[in-house]
Chain A
Amino acid sequence: MAFGGGEEMKLKEKKFGIFLTFCIMAVFWTLLSGVFDAFHLISGLICCAIVSVISHDFLVKGKSEKKLLKSLRLLIYIPWELWKIVLANIDVAYRVLHPQMPIDPLIIEFETTLRKDFSLATLANSITLTPGTITILVEPERGKFWVHAIAKEPADALLVDQTMQRKVAHVFMETAVEAAVETENQEAL
């Protein structure tokens, strides 16, 4: 790609980022203020413009390829996650109220194919909210997770089953082929 073309693309992305940030902030302002006279609306819009020019790169960052598809897949992922949260709470309630307290804590570590901040954060929060596991540490370079599990079964769900990792990787389209081959080789050994 030519140098000038790249610059133009960047500028376009930046403008799109500012525009998107402005829209979101304007919606928030009108929703949260609840006052619809001219003074409040205009002062709110001016504030939104200033803030979105200064800090648009906090919200919209990097390449905007396939953003729509990713958000759609995220919307499908969220109900599944909510259901998992309910299961997690029933699981914790069972463990707390059981007279013998069936817990056997252990720390596990595993690597994933995820590399980007947002997908790593999503998986980390999902792990914390699902049955019997809490994320301790995340290493972004290798996509490595340290997880505290309250018993053996939830740890197996993450290590053997890996449904959640696959789902998050599917949502953010970071299913790296090399990583898959690597894990297969490890399993063969």
Chain B
Amino acid sequence: MVIVYVVVTVLLGAGVFFTLVGSIGLLRFPDFYTRLHATGKCDTLGGGLIILGALIYHFFQYPETPLVPAKLAFLIFFIFIANPTATHALMKAAYKTGLKPWRLGEERR
């Protein structure tokens, strides 16, 4: 069980780290497009890792309900499809409305 705890802690920690980095990037990056780079990628892997940690914990801690890990696995799958699609939709909307991307040397917006 100790190994499981270590693995789960590492997964949750990594997930929290990437989500935190995504949030910091959202604040630090200069414009809309680059901010989407931070949130679109980090939230996908961060959320996925956190759910994976919960999945492994539940699988070993409560083996009598094996359906919950299965549902969590589906959650990871759908997050990995839906998150890049949503990011792409936001990007497309910004591009179609004519928002100019930030170039190196410009002032941050």
> A residues engaging B (CB < 8 A)?
31-32, 34, 85-86, 88-89, 92-93, 95-97, 101, 103-107, 124-125, 128-129, 132, 134-137, 146, 148, 150
Which residues of the partner chain A approach B29 to less than 8 Å between Cβ atoms? 96, 101, 103
Give Cα A128 to B38, complex, Å. Answer: 11
Is B61 close to A, CB under 8 A? no
Question: Interface residue count for B (Cβ, 8 Å)?
Answer: 37
Q: Is the CB of B84 within 8 A of A89?
A: no
Q: Is the CB of A93 within 8 A of B91?
A: no
Is B3 close to A, CB under 8 A? no
Q: Is the CB of B92 within 8 A of A96?
A: no
Main secondary structure of the interface of B (DSSP, over half): helix
> B residues engaging A (CB < 8 A)?
17-18, 21-22, 24-25, 28-31, 33-34, 36-38, 40-42, 44-46, 67, 70-71, 80-81, 84-85, 87-88, 91-92, 95, 101-104
Which residues of the partner chain A approach B28 to less than 8 Å between Cβ atoms? 96, 101
Q: Is the CB of A31 within 8 A of B70?
A: yes
Pick from B18, B46, B91: contact of A148, CB under 8 Å: B91
